[in-house]
Structure 1
Amino acid sequence: MADLRLVLDEAAQAALISPETSEKLLPFLMDRGVIVKEGFEAAQSQRPHTLAEELLSVEPDTETPRFVRGFHDILITIGVVILLSGLWGIASLYVVLPAIILLSEVLVRRQRLALPAVALTVALFVWTANLMVMWFPINPDFLAASHFPIPLLAALPVASGLYYLRYRVPLSFALAVMAAFVFAVNLFIRVVAYLGDDPSFPLNNLRLFSVILLISALCLFAIALYFDLRDVRRQTLRSDIAFWLHLGTAPALLYSVLGVWIGGISLLGQDHGYSTWLSAVVVTVAAMMLIGLIIDRRAFVTAGLMSLGVAIYGVFKQGNAGVDTYFYLTLLIVGVIVLVIGIGWVPLRRLTLRLLPHSLSERLPRAL
């Protein structure tokens, strides 16, 4: 089944319809159940399969974010990155913004190229951060409530939000939401630190600080789920927005849970015993894997694997194993976990959904 959005984008690129019409047609057609089938796929589905073909068949992927649509996107993105990097190095910071806007008008608004849109969204986010830091220097005390200046934290969601309103890039919406949460949390911490006359509130109240971060991460996860459940077929922009939100939410959930679990000591890098750290990470990542299976989001699961690798690496290092030994053992263990999850995702998800109440499982993406 071809993606209806891709068909409409191709029609817009061929000047058969305008980009504005394409945006309006997509929800209209989808609400009426319109789908697009490719003749080859239909023919293949009717052809009898041999035993070897059945064994070697690949399960269809239900999580396909639309930010790479071909090598043309990759080539253009490489050019965008090189051009902006060169301009950033030889010209004033103020010259980079017009270049970002001009490229966005041509590549995103007119040509609807997905991967260049991601690169330009990130470029605008980084440009805004650099500009705000140049105007309002960062407090060198990392765990002070005032470490990040308010103008910096306020400008990031505004810039990303305006970019989304103009170009409808899912990543820009996700960045705007996440940056808004960072701004709200920082503002709350500043107020609490001011009322308690404690400029180093995060340092002196690590567990409470972790609880605040955990509540914020759960709110972000709820927003990501909202977009996910509004598009269980993964066919609209809501699914792409949910993808990026899950990708940013998973690490926030992981580290906030760990901070609450072991009192925030891991956030400072202090030696609290790698066995405790490993136990906390393994249990937390296992819970995240189960959640990822339920909601059918591999991105949510993948985000915790790097931290799992760091914890395993630390345990081997503490055991005085040779450098090569614990490094390669870490790669081996994490690699096995990744392969087990990747290969067994579909049957594992079928099993998980069967254990859930029917009223809940029917609202989730179906198991293929």
Structure 2
Amino acid sequence: MTELKSILDEAARQGLISPDAGGRLLPFLTEHGVAVIETLPVSRADGQAWSDTETPRFVRGFHDVLITIGVVVALVGLWGLAPLYAVPVAIIVLSEILVRRQRLALPAVSLTIALFCWICLLMSQFFPPWTPTSQSFGAEATQFVAGFPIILGAYYARYRVPLSLALCIMSVLAFVLTLILRLVQWVSGNPAFFLDHPVVLALVALICALGLFMMALYFDLGDRLRRTTRSDIAFWLHLGAAPALLYSTVSLLSIGESGRIFDLANMSARTPVVVATVAALMLIGLVIDRRAFVTSGLLSLGVAIFGVVQEGNATIDTYIFTTLIIVGAIVLIIGTGWMPLRRLVLRALPPAIASRLPPG
């Protein structure tokens, strides 16, 4: 019954039925014996069940790829001529045709990204988020971020693109972050408070990153079999939550004598912190069955390994290729052994928790 309700809710969100009709259909279908039958996973040659629950729904075929290439080329041309005025008109027209009428997934993703870039251009014209001499988080940063959730939320309400809702949620959290930073500055009475106390800045960033991760889990746990667009929204949120957690955690643990944060060079000099953080993210990714969550940390892991080999006085060619070999080996090990590793992790979890996660 729970799965049937989620399907009816998804139909209402896509405008196929009204919410009232969905509420009336649920008891009617249940009384008449209608139920959702869980499809069995594909079996491997050795007889063990294998399931891949993270197939990206925005990649459906080469037709979508061809249309997306045309969309990107056309928008790039318009961007070079009149980015502020012509691009939004083209995005709306193409969204009406390709997204609302034809329901093409990959073009919808490209149009959402184009809209996000246009919002950046629009807001920077009126509210530059920072100046070279600024030492504080002023009203401009808050005003710059405020436009993103409004426009992206309106776009999602019209076209129901999962990426637009994910970006809207991220921008809301970024807006909250700017408000918190300004509030702390106001309470302290010091405009350069975060320059003097970088640990507080890293801690606030970590709290917002955890909030983004919890939002991703909210959408994920609401669709453990990943049959609705809730799973697609969670995919994009996890893609943003992983690097946010990585950089905020490492920055909090790696602030040294210089007091600098969000600095890749500073992170590579503290390789054990980076490696431990990436390992924790990989474990979390295994538990929630999100390869995208794991992949987001591999770039920083490569930077950390690069720093270790470089400090060992190896030649440039040696430590570049050694870094590539190590990171590639980790990717291959995780990729080929994902399902066996995940089954081991699920067995170690309490049944009450494992039952709410995607099946292994």
TM-score under structure 1 length normalisation:
0.84
Residues 1:362 and 2:355 are matched in the alignment: yes
Q: Kindly, what percent of the aligned residue pairs are identical?
A: 52
From 179, 182, 190, the counterpart of 2:182: 190
Per-residue deviation, 1:34: 3.9
Q: 8 Å contact 1:207–1:263 — kept in the other structure?
A: yes
Cross-structure match for 1:235: 227
Structure 2 matches for 1:74-89, cutoff 5 A? Answer: 74-89=65-80
In structure 1, the partner of 2:279 is 286
Deviation at 1:93, TM superposition (A): 1.3
Output the CA distance in 1 between the equivalents of 2:53 and 2:188. 49
Contact 2:149–2:169 (Cα < 8 Å) also in 1: yes
- The equivalent residue for 1:344 is 337
Q: Deviations over 1:198-251 (max 9, x none)?
A: 222332211111111111111111111111011000100100000000000001
Alignment of 1:35-46 (within 5 A): none
2:52 alignment partner in structure 1: 61
Q: How does 1:137-148 map to 2 (within 5 A)?
A: 137-141=128-132, 144-146=136-138
5 Å matches for 1:103-122? Answer: 103-122=94-113
Within 2, Cα distance between the matches of 1:64 and 1:318? 40
Asked whether the 8 Å contact 1:296–1:365 carries over to 2, the reply is yes
Residues 33 and 241 of structure 1: CA distance in aligned 2, closer, same or farther (over 3 Å): farther
Q: Which letter does structure 2 place at the counterpart of 1:70?
A: G
Where do residues 5-44 of structure 1 align in structure 2 (5 Å cutoff)?
20-21=15-16, 33-34=35-36
What is the match of residue 301 of structure 1? 294
**Aligned counterparts of 1:284 and 1:116: Cα–Cα separation in 2:** 35
**Structure 1 57/363 Cα, relative in aligned 2: closer, same or farther at 3 Å?**
closer
Matched-pair contact (CA < 8 Å) for 1:140–1:147: no
The offset of 1:58, in angstroms, is 10
- 1:70 to 2:61 alignment: yes
- Give the structure 2 partner of residue 16 of structure 1: none
Distance (whole Å) between structure 2 residues aligned to residue 118 and residue 56 of structure 1 = 38
Structure 1 residue aligned with 2:143, among 140, 143, 151? 151
Instruction: Return the letter of the residue paired with 2:230.
Output: R
Q: Say how many residue pairs are matched.
A: 339
- The amino acid across from 2:335 in the alignment is G
Q: Per-residue deviation at 1:132?
A: 1.0
- Whether contact under 8 Å (1:139, 1:147) holds in the other structure is no
CA distance in 1, matches of 2:147, 2:302: 34
Aligned-pair distance for 1:61?
A: 1.4
Structure 1: gaps (5+ residues): 1-18, 46-52
C-alpha RMSD of matched pairs (Å): 3.0
Q: Post-superposition shift, 1:260? A: 1.6
State whether structure 2 residue 85 is matched by structure 1 residue 90: no
The equivalences for 1:305-320 within 5 A come to 305-320=298-313
Tell me, yes or no, if the aligned pair for 1:77 and 1:116 is still in contact at 8 Å. Answer: yes
Q: Which residue of 2 aligns with 1:267?
A: 261
1:60-89 Cα deviation digits (max 9, x unpaired): 411112111100111111100110110111
What is the aligned partner in structure 2 of residue 102 from structure 1? Answer: 93
Q: Distance in 1 between matches of 2:83 and 2:288?
A: 45
What does residue 3 of structure 1 align with?
none
Partner of 1:206: 198
Structure 2 distance, partners of 1:143, 1:161, is 31
Q: Is the 8 A contact 2:286 2:345 kept in 1?
A: yes
C-alpha contact (below 8 Å) 1:108/1:117 kept by paired residues: yes
Separation in structure 2 between the aligned mates of residue 273 and residue 89 of structure 1, nearest angstrom: 37
Indicate if the aligned counterparts of 1:145 and 1:201 stay in contact, CA closer than 8 A.
Answer: no
Deviation at 1:363?
1.0
- The 3-state SS of whatever aligns with 1:54 is coil
Deviates more, 1:145-154 or 1:287-296: 145-154
Gaps of at least 5 residues in structure 2 are 1-13
Partners in 2 of 1:328 and 1:58 — Cα distance?
A: 37
Correspondence 1:168 to 2:160: yes
CA distance in 2 between counterparts of 1:271 and 1:177 reads 30
Q: Aligned in 2, Cα 1:301/1:230: closer, same or farther, shift over 3 Å?
A: same
SS in 2 for 1:364: coil
* 1:178 is the counterpart of 2:170: yes
Inter-partner Cα distance in structure 2 for 1:205 and 1:328: 38
Q: Is the CA contact 2:278–2:301 (under 8 Å) kept in the aligned structure 1?
A: yes
Work out whether residues 288 and 301 of structure 1, in 8 Å CA contact, stay in contact via their aligned partners in 2: yes
Give the partner amino acid of 1:169: V
- Give the TM-score of the pair, scaled to structure 2: 0.86
